[in-house]
Every structure is written in C-alpha cells, then in structure tokens.
Amino acid sequence: MEIVITVGIVALAAYIFYRSTSKRTKGECECGSCSSHCPMYEEKKNNSK
Amino acid sequence: MLTAALLGNPNVGKTTLFNYLTGSNQYVGNWPGVTVEKKEGFIEDKVKVVDLPGIYALDTYSNEEKISKEFLEKGGVDVIVNIVDASSLNRNLYLTLQLKQFKKPIVLVLNMIDVAKSKGLRIDYEKLASKLGVIVIPISASKGIGIEEVKKLLKSGNFFSPLNENDYQYTDDEKKNYKFIEEVLAEALVKEREEVITIGDRIDSIVLNKFFAYPLFLFVLYIIFKFTFTWVGQPLSDAMDEYAIGGIVSILETLLQNSSPWFSSLIIDGIVGGVGSVIVFLPIVMTLFLGISFLEDSGYMARAAFIMDRIMRKIGLSGKAFIPFIIGFGCSVPGIMSARTLESEKDRKLTALLVPLMSCNARLPVYALFASIFFPGNESSVTFSLYLLGVVIAILIGLLFKNTIFKKDEEPFIIELPEYKMPEFKSLMRNTWEKGKGFLKKAGTIIFSMSVIVWILSNFNFSGMTDMESSFLANIGRAIAPIFNPMGYGTWQSAVALLTGLMAKEVVVSTMGVIYGVDLSNILLQYFTPLAAYSFLVFVLLYTPCISVIATMRKEFGNKMMVFSVLYQLVLAWVVSFVVYNAGRLIFG
C-alpha cells in the first residue's frame, strides 16, 4: 500500500513539475501572482476567445 | 456583432466602465497604466467592447498608443466610446478631437460628473454634443450612474444620429485644436463658483511637498510593513504555524506511527515540511498586498510615481517607469511586461533589467522565515530594509547603465493625479484574495512537486536509499557551496536551496523545510549567524528571480537580454552579499 501511494505521489509531482516547467520556460504565467491586471493573463484570456 | 472601442486618457475610469458594461472582473487601479494590452468583453453577444490602454494623444510612440491606433485603423471598429474626466474636459478633449480622424461615430462618456459638480462645474451636455458632433452621456462609473444608458445605446446600434456628423475635422495643428476646445468649452461649460481648495489639494500640499514627500513615502511603506510583520500578518502566520501545520503534523504522526520510517518521512518531512513551511506565510503575503492595494486604490500610488520622477530621471527613466516597479513588488513577470507602456526601447530594456531587483512576493516567505528566527522583534525593520535595499541597488545600477549601455536623453513625464478616495472594501478584498489565491495555487503545484523531488534527491543516491549527507542533493550542493563560503553560508543545504529557488523563490523555504525538517526555527540557528542570514537574504533579493522571469525576458527582449539579465543579477547578488557580510564582520566583529 505504501508503495502504491508513494508511486502516486511521485507520479503526480513529476507531472506537475513537467507541466509547470514547460509553461514557465515558454514564458507563460506561472508566477503565482495571478492577478487579472497581469498582461500575461490578458493575452491568455484573449487568445482563448 | 458590433465592435465598440473604449478609449480615454489614463485613469479616467475605463476599466470600471468596461467591467460594468461587460460584467468582467478586471483589475481596477486608482492610478494610471492599469490597462497595458487591449482586452475584450461582450454585452449580451450583441456588442464586443474592446478596452484599449489609456493614452493622452495619438501622436507619440509608446506601445499603448501604437496598440490603440492600430486597433482603430484595422480592428473593424463600429463605434468609439471615448470616456473622459468631466472635471478636466480641457485636457481630455484633445484626444477626442484626434479620434475624429478615424471618421467613426463617437460616444463621449463624461465620467465623474459628481466630481465635476462638486468642483462647481456645470456642463451643457446638448451644446457639447452639437459642437463636437458626438453623442454625450454623463455618468459616474464608480457609482454605477448612467451606465445603463451607455449599454442601451451600444446595444441599439443607433449611433448615426444627426448629432454624429463630424462638423469639425481634426487638424494636425495642435494650437488650432486647443483653440477649438477653448471655444467649445466657453459655450458648454460654466464655472458656477471659483475652484475651492479641496481636502485633496490640502493633502497634496503635504504629500507632494519637496521636503516631506520622501520621508512621508518611506513612513507610509514602513507602516505597511509594521502592519504586515508586527500587527497582523506575522501573528496570524505564527498562529497558523502552531495550530494548523502543528496540528496536521501531530495527526499525521499518530496516523503513520505504524508505517515504514521512509514513508512517514516522505509525508511529514517531504510534503508537509515542504509545502507547510511555505503555506504558513499566506497571511503575511495577503496582509502586505492588502496594504499595497489600499495605497493603489486611495490614489497615493500615483503620487508616489510623481514624487519618484526626480529620482527616476537621475537613472535615465521617467516616473512612468515607477509603475512597472510597483507591479514588480507583486511579481517581476507582469512588471517586466508592463514596461511595454514606456515610450522608448531603451526605457523598456532598462526598466526590465531593474524590475527584478524589486522584492516580489515570492521572496517574502524567505524574508519572513529568516527575520523571525534571526531578528525576533525586528522583523518589520529587517524586511523593510531589504525592500529598500532593492530600490537603492536599482537606482545605483540604473545610474551605471544610464552612463554606459543605455545612454539617452531625458523625456518628460506626464501623470494625471487621481482624486483621493476611500478604497472600496470589495475591491481591496478582491485584490488581496487574488494574491492569496495565486500563492495557494503555487503551494499546491510547483512547491508540492519540488518538495517531493527534493525529498527524493535528499534521500537517495545511486545505491538506493541513503542518509542525507550521502544523497544526490548533498553532492550537488557540495559542488556549488564553495561559491557561498565567503558570505558565511557555504553549506550544501544553503546552496541547493538557492539552486532550487530558481524554480520559484518560495522553494528556497520549502527546500529547507524538507532538508532540515519541520522545526526550522531551531535548526537554522545552528547553520547561520545573524550576519550570514542577512547576507543570505541579500543574495535572495538580488539573484535571478525564477525561470518565469528568465523566459519573460527572452520573450520580450530576446536571448541576448535574457543571458545578460541572468548573469548580471548573479554577479550583482554575489558582490553585494559579499560586501554586506564582510563589511558587517568588520563593523560588528
């Protein structure tokens, strides 16, 4: 059981790390200060329309 | 679907009107420069409203003006909604005249009619409309007065009323335009009484006084730090650490008492130690930004930009560049991006290089942790000194760059000082919550994943599970640690914390939480002296913020600038940290 939970935690952490790193290296918003006055947030919102 | 372009001078209430019209939730600040990019919203799928950046005219070369001009020319605009400050029509109508060159129907929205009335100004709306050849609607955006009328008109699409024939055509002659405005206002505007000195004028005479302005600015900031670190934020943070995190740890210890030691270590030291050590600073982050939002919404921040103009000019920038700096106190990424609002390429680059020297909120948990351990009772002063040091170093580096790689002429700075107002509770709460939400999101994603990775790297090596001193992480740390020996924190633990901090600055704390365990406050005292701790904080303040900032730098200015910014900040951080530590040793022994 401990092994299964550990594998789950590690897989989740690896996935989040991969997703977050790839977003960050593309210069996408991951700064944690996600206020709607961030120009990055605007760009993303406009592009999704 | 009709397209309406919303345009006006900075800080006349465009974003507030946009939010009312479209039901959006955009950030509204009581200071210019909030809208950097154009943004879109819809009125019942009938009208697309595009909020354009605030501009004073269409004849200079800032990015905001380029964005607005290009959109008006190529954006398929059906109607221009020109929002103006009813209490300063003489200044605002210049843009209105310039907008006539696009030969589109113009709806002139007179905002802040309540303020105009309180100043004794009576406007003849019909005369103004007929003289300018526009439709005039008086409103008070902050009070929601008159907005329904604007909405109704836009939905009806009935802009081509007889009023709308452009009987006056815009000319390139600035004098002629101003003369025309004078003539229009002579007929349409009546001053019922001479302007009285308002409370705002009285406050300004102190706030903008050349002797009091700077000490008062520092005092205001100091009060915010006191509010954060002594009165509200820190006590809440301590309570959260003791009851919430402490409670979770004791529950988990009970639940996991029969589990394998490695599994219990992963959950308690790895995840709770990592994420928990950062999350306890949530009240501090939220309290600080509550204070900053209060300053923004009250109208003081625009004054701060105004009084900073003299200093900014010395480093080759105008006061306008102070706005990206203020945004940089939240996060360097939007700070660098809002440098787009500056006129020249040199200004934009210089500002982008200096913005990361402002303490972003990600560094706050590191300051808060070290200040509470090494400088108990003086947390506010220590953190305040770091914020101040960032500004001072930015001024010095600005001076250096101005006289070397960014030689340029000075440019004038125009800023409209908004009316003072009591910030709305809802707006303050929304801005503060935005910061808190961002912080929580980060704790649940990158900080969680980095905590697990750091735990694995600090418990394994090529031969399997091992003690921490022989782990991958310890070996990586030992390879870098000598760089930090001259500053008094050349341990492998500090080295890896700074290295992982490149992912996000909060990770410096979570890494230490994983390596040293949950009881950081006692353990850190064995590894740092107060002087080494302060020197460590100086390094955290000045070295490359995080990979998001690096990527934004590349996106905005290209590879050369990105490499330059990373290297100069690393060298700068090392040099200043070295000077602080060694000068401190000479002084304090």
pLDDT digits (tens, 9 = 90+) for B17-58: 888 888 865 544 544 444 555 677 888 888 888 888 778 787
Query: Which amino acid is present at B468?
Result: M
B267: nearest CA in chain A? A6
User: Nearest CA to B500 among B437, B454, B563?
Assistant: B454
> Looking at chain B from residue 448 to 507, which residues have their Cβ under 8 Å from any Cβ of chain A?
448-453, 456, 503-504, 506
User: Nearest CA to B276 among B499, B524, B510, B104?
Assistant: B510
Most confident listed range (A28-32, B70-74, B281-285): B281-285
- C-beta separation of B440 from B282 below 8 A: yes
Measure CB to CB from residue A39 to each of B260, B334, B449 and give the nearest one: B334
Indicate if the pLDDT at residue B362 is higher than 50.
Answer: yes
**Probe site for chain B from A4, A23, A35 (most B CB atoms < 10 A):** A35
CB contact under 8 A, A33 and B435: yes
Residue B61 burial (C-beta neighbours within 10 Å; 0-12, 13-18, 19+): exposed
Measure CB to CB from residue A32 to each of B337, B439, B547 and give the nearest one: B439
Q: In the structure encoding, which two tokens stand for residue B211, read together? A: 């002797």
Q: How far is CA B310 from CA B328, B395, B589, in A?
A: 20, 12, 38
Q: How far apart are CA B128 and CA B132, in angstroms?
A: 6
Measure CB to CB from residue B39 to each of A9, A25, A42 and give the nearest one: A42
Residue B358, SS3?
A: coil
Strands (E), B134-281: 135-138, 189-191
Residue B471, SS3?
A: coil
- Contact list in B for residue A16 (CB cut-off 8 A) is 445-446, 448-449
What pLDDT is attached to residue B314? Answer: 78
Count how many pairs of residues, chain A against chain B, have C-beta atoms within 8 Å.
126
CB contact under 8 A, A33 and B259: no
What pLDDT is attached to residue A43? Answer: 55
* Mean pLDDT computed over B207-216: 90
Most confident listed range (B171-180, B279-288, B499-508, B568-577): B568-577
Q: In the structure encoding, which two tokens stand for residue B39, read together? A: 């943004």
Q: In the structure encoding, which two tokens stand for residue B577, read together? A: 């940290």
CB contact under 8 A, A33 and B450: no
Model confidence over B222-248: pLDDT tens digits? Answer: 898 899 888 999 899 989 988 999 899
Measure CB to CB from residue B337 to each of A10, A30, A40 and give the nearest one: A40
The 8-class DSSP code of residue B28 comes to: -
H-assigned helices in A1-49: 2-25, 39-47
Indicate if the pLDDT at residue B450 is higher than 80.
Answer: yes
pLDDT mean across residues, chain B: 86
Indicate if the pLDDT at residue A35 is higher than 50.
Answer: no
User: Nearest CA to B14 among B43, B50, B48, B44?
Assistant: B50
B453: nearest CA in chain A? A13
Residue B433, SS3?
A: helix
User: Nearest CA to B40 among B65, B58, B23?
Assistant: B23
User: In angstroms, what is the C-alpha Rg of chain A?
Assistant: 15
What pLDDT is attached to residue B523? Answer: 92
Q: How many residues does chain A have?
A: 49
Indicate if the pLDDT at residue B60 is higher than 70.
Answer: no
- C-beta separation of B135 from B159 below 8 A: yes
Q: Which residue has the higher pLDDT, B59 or B574?
A: B574
Indicate if the pLDDT at residue B63 is higher than 70.
Answer: no
What pLDDT is attached to residue B34? Answer: 47
Measure CB to CB from residue A2 to each of B260, B435, B450 and give the nearest one: B260
Query: Which amino acid is present at B412?
Result: P
Q: Which residue has the higher pLDDT, B162 or B490?
A: B490
Measure CB to CB from residue A24 to each of B38, B453, B548 and give the nearest one: B548
Does any CB of chain A come closer than 8 Å to the CB of residue B434? yes
What pLDDT is attached to residue B61? Answer: 60
CB contact under 8 A, B551 and A20: no
- Tell me the whole-structure pTM to 2 decimals: 0.72
Q: Is the dihedral of CA B381, B382, B386, B387 positive or negative?
A: negative
CB contact under 8 A, A34 and B441: yes
Does any CB of chain A come closer than 8 Å to the CB of residue B338? yes
What pLDDT is attached to residue B272? Answer: 93
Q: How far apart are CA A9 and CA B270, in angstroms?
A: 11
User: Nearest CA to B140 among B506, B364, B419?
Assistant: B419
Q: How far apart are CA B418 and CA B22, in angstroms?
A: 24
Indicate if the pLDDT at residue B64 is higher than 80.
Answer: no
Indicate if the pLDDT at residue B453 is higher than 90.
Answer: yes
Q: How far apart are CA B588 and CA B484, in angstroms?
A: 20
Q: How far apart are CA B304 and CA B180, in angstroms?
A: 34
What pLDDT is attached to residue B62? Answer: 65
What's the gap in Å between the CA of A11 and the closest CA on chain B? Answer: 10
Which residues have C-beta within 8 Å of that of residue B442, sequence separation ≥ 6? A32, B362, B504, B506
What pLDDT is attached to residue A34? Answer: 47
- Contact list in B for residue A32 (CB cut-off 8 A) is 331, 361-362, 438-439, 441-442, 446, 504, 506
Round to the nearest angstrom and report the end-to-end CA distance of chain A. 45
**Probe site for chain A from B71, B290, B446, B506 (most A CB atoms < 10 A):** B446
What pLDDT is attached to residue B405? Answer: 80
Q: How far apart are CA B142 and CA B429, in angstroms?
A: 17
- Contact list in A for residue B435 (CB cut-off 8 A) is 33, 35
What pLDDT is attached to residue A29? Answer: 60
Q: How far apart are CA B178 and CA B34, in angstroms?
A: 27
Q: How far apart are CA B351 and CA B251, in angstroms?
A: 49
* Mean pLDDT computed over B82-97: 89
Instruction: Give the angle subtended at the CA of B419 by the CAs of B414 and B422, to the nearest 5°.
Output: 140
> Looking at chain B from residue 33 to 52, which residues have their Cβ under 8 Å from any Cβ of chain A?
34, 36-40
Indicate if the pLDDT at residue B328 is higher than 90.
Answer: no
Residue B78, SS3?
A: coil
* Mean pLDDT computed over B516-541: 93
Confidence class of residue B168 from pLDDT cuts 50, 70 and 90?
Answer: low
What pLDDT is attached to residue B195? Answer: 67
